[in-house]
Amino acid sequence: MYQDRFDDSEWTHACRFSVGGDSDEDYALHLRTMKEVASLAEASKKRLAIVICQEPGFPAPDSSWRKKVAEMTASPSFRPVHCAIVTSNPLVRGAVTALNWLRKREYSEAIFGDIESALAWLEASRCHSLPTLRQTVQGWGSRSSRTGVEDRMRSVAARCANLVERGNERQPRRPD
């Protein structure tokens, strides 16, 4: 499912991809919206701050979508942009970072594992706070699905069992 919000007082655009929609339709809507917002910013001579949050479970764009994004971001209207991408997937973060090293961009982009770091970078890039954007993305990027909660519970239970096991190894056994 794709959600977005453009704010023309701060010149920010928040985009969220979460499980529950058709990823092809979501990416198509995202590209159309991004083109419109970037064109508005260019026409108004404003520097746009964008945060894109890909929540856990939403599929990464395939090669055809990555190509379309590359074409869009190469256009002159996309130059006055600071873009922060948020994903919990370390492989996606690594791939985007590597591509950013290899490809010269006309705009500024960074990728983060959490929304707070992305917002701090955007605010530093813009040299002022972005309270409306912060309010818009509050709670984004968290694993709110039932599967995510179950995964976290299993992880905590496994860590606790491991700690108990190690604790039992350290204590002398009592004779029965």
Burial tier of 91 (Cβ tally within 10 Å: 0-12, 13-18, 19+): exposed
Pairing of strands 48-54, 2-7: unpaired
Whole-number pLDDT of residue 148: 41
Q: Which helix (H) or strand (E) holds 39?
A: helix 23-43
Whole-number pLDDT of residue 146: 35
Domain ranges of the chain: 2-143
Strands (E), 18-96: 48-54, 81-87
The helix/strand/coil state of 110 is: strand
Q: Which helix (H) or strand (E) holds 2?
A: strand 2-7
State how far the Cα of 114 lies from the Cα of 84, in Å rounded to an integer: 10
Per-residue pLDDT of the chain in tens (176 residues, 90 and over written 9):
999 999 999 999 999 998 887 889 999 999 999 989 988 888 898 889 999 999 888 888 888 888 888 888 877 767 668 999 998 888 877 877 777 677 766 678 888 999 999 999 999 998 999 999 999 998 886 544 333 434 444 445 555 566 556 665 555 555 55
Whole-number pLDDT of residue 147: 39
Whole-number pLDDT of residue 13: 93
What kind of architecture, by CATH, is found in domain 2-143?
A: 3-Layer(aba) Sandwich (3.40)
